[in-house]
Amino acid sequence: MKRTTTIASIALIASSAFAGAAAAGSLEDTTVEAPVFTPAATPVAVDGDWTGFYTGLQVGQTDVDSDSGNLDGDDTSYGFHAGYDYDFGKFVLGGELDYDKTDIDLGNGAGDVDSVARAKVKAGYDFGKTLVYATAGAARADTSVGDETGPFAGLGVTYKVTDRYTVGGEVLQHKFDDVGGTGEDLDATTISLRGSMRF
Residues 165-184, mean pLDDT to the nearest whole number: 91
Q: What is the CATH number of domain 52-198?
A: 2.40.160.20
152 C-beta neighbours (distance < 10 Å), count: 21
Q: Distance (Å, rounded) from C-alpha 85 to C-alpha 87?
A: 7
* Residue 193 to residue 12: CA distance in whole angstroms: 94
Number of alpha carbons in the 13 Å side-chain half-sphere of residue 111: 16
Mean pLDDT of all residues in 164-171: 98
pLDDT tens-digit series, residues 127-149: 999 999 999 999 999 988 888 99
95, containing H or E segment: strand 91-105
Model confidence at 16: pLDDT above 60: no
Residues 72-88 as b/e (b if ≥16 CB within 10 A, e otherwise) read bbbeebebebebebebe
Instruction: Give residue 30's pLDDT band: very low, low, confident or very high (50, 70, 90).
Output: low
Count the neighbouring beta carbons within 10 Å of the beta carbon of residue 90. 11
**pLDDT for 55-105, tens place per residue?**
999 999 999 998 887 888 999 999 999 999 999 999 999 999 999 999 999
> Per-residue confidence at 21, pLDDT binned at 50, 70, 90?
very low
Q: CA-CA-CA-CA torsion for 170, 84, 52, 155, nearest 10 degrees?
A: -20
Model pLDDT, residue 41: 57
CA end-to-end span of the chain, whole Å?
103
User: pLDDT-based confidence at 22, cuts 50/70/90?
Assistant: very low
What are the residue boundaries of the structural domains of the chain, listed by start? 52-198
How far is residue 150's CA from residue 64's CA, in Å, rounded to a whole number? 14
SS3 state of residue 28: coil
